[in-house]
Structure 1
Amino acid sequence: MLYFEDIQPGTKSAFGCYEVSRKEVIEFASKYDPQPFHLDDDAAAKTYFGKVSASGWHTGAMVMRMVVENMKTNKQAGLGSPGIDELRWLKPVYPGDVLRCESEIVDKTPSRSRPDMGSFRSKITVFNQDDEPVMTMKSIGLIRKRPTEAGQRA
């Protein structure tokens, strides 16, 4: 189990493998981001995208799935997240792309009001199958401190 004390700024990790399907791109866009270039080949052909592309919000959801799958494998005493900073969609994501993530711990901060926890920031870069970055964000994670021997939180 990974606790606040185990988090080290500069630590890097790579994880995830998510194949983007056309069906999923269109289903997501139909429900949450129904712009024509996410739904229709002819409409997309007339835009910067050139063909149907995934919504940036869909890309974020795919990244979240990879993050959660990674947390199942690499257990941590996580407590959720108060948000993300500096979200950037760098390149379109298309059906058939295969996404993966690289993460680097930027910093960590003990909580001033909750001595049993702290937070850390990670820069996550998402790459396609050609190793082109398609999205970046700084994720903020909340995490428990290691329990003390008395059974209390540090």
Structure 2
Amino acid sequence: MLYFEDLTPGRVFETASHTLSEEEIIAFASQFDPQPFHTDPQAAKSSFFDGLAASGWHTSSLTMRLITASELKNVANGLIGMGIRDMRWPRPTRPGDTLRAKIEVTGQKPSSSQPGFGVVQLRWTTLNQHNEIAMQLETAIWVARRTTTQP
């Protein structure tokens, strides 16, 4: 298990990768972000994206899936998010792109009101096969502290 004390600033976790297909992009967008540049390859050609692009929410959801299959799946009480800051998608994710994520611990603070827990700040960076940033965000998670036994 990973506890608050294990998630020290500077520690980096990496995930496996996943290659997105056109079918996955269209299926996700059809259900959750039904805009033509996400669902219709022909219409997408004349859009801002100049071709089919995955929804940013798809990129974010896929990143979460990759993280929950990484070593971070072992966080003692689960990945309990407290909020997201500065989420951005600097470039579109396309069919055939292979995404992976790097998660860096940027800070931590023990809880003053609940001594068995602490807040850990993380920066998620989702990279494509060219090491270009597809998504980045900052988040805080609520993490159990390691129980210490008194002599």
The offset of 1:83, in angstroms, is 1.9
TM-score, with normalisation over the residues of structure 1? 0.90
Give, in angstroms, the shift of residue 142 of structure 1: 1.1
Give the ranges of 4+ consecutive aligned residues of structure 1 lying more than 4 Å apart after TM superposition: none
1:88-107 to structure 2, matched below 5 A, reads 88-107=88-107
Equivalent residue, structure 2, for 1:140: 140
Show the 5 A alignment for 1:73-152: 75-79=74-78, 80-149=80-149
In structure 2, how many angstroms separate the alpha carbons of the residues matched to 1:104 and 1:78?
A: 19
Aligned length: 149
Note if contact 1:90-1:133 (Cα within 8 Å) is conserved in structure 2. Answer: yes
Partner-residue secondary structure (3-state), 1:134: strand
Alpha carbons 1:78, 1:141 under 8 Å: kept: no
TM-score (norm 2): 0.92
**Secondary structure of the structure 2 residue equivalent to 1:25:** helix
**Can you give the 5+ residue segments of structure 1 that lack an aligned partner in the other structure?**
none
Which residue identity does 2:93 align to in structure 1?
V
One-letter amino acid of the counterpart of residue 78, structure 1: N
Q: Deviations over 1:11-36 (max 9, x none)?
A: 12222201111111111111110111
Unaligned runs of 5+ in 2: none
Give the aligned CA root-mean-square deviation in angstroms.
1.4
- Residues 12-91 of structure 1 mapped to structure 2, 5 A cutoff: 12-71=12-71, 75-79=74-78, 80-91=80-91
Give the superposition deviation at 1:49: 1.3
Residues 36-71 of structure 1: per-residue CA shift (max 9 Å, x gap):
100112211112211111000011100000010014
Separation of aligned partners in 2, 1:110 and 1:43: 50
Identity within the alignment, %: 38
CA distance in 2, matches of 1:102, 1:68: 13
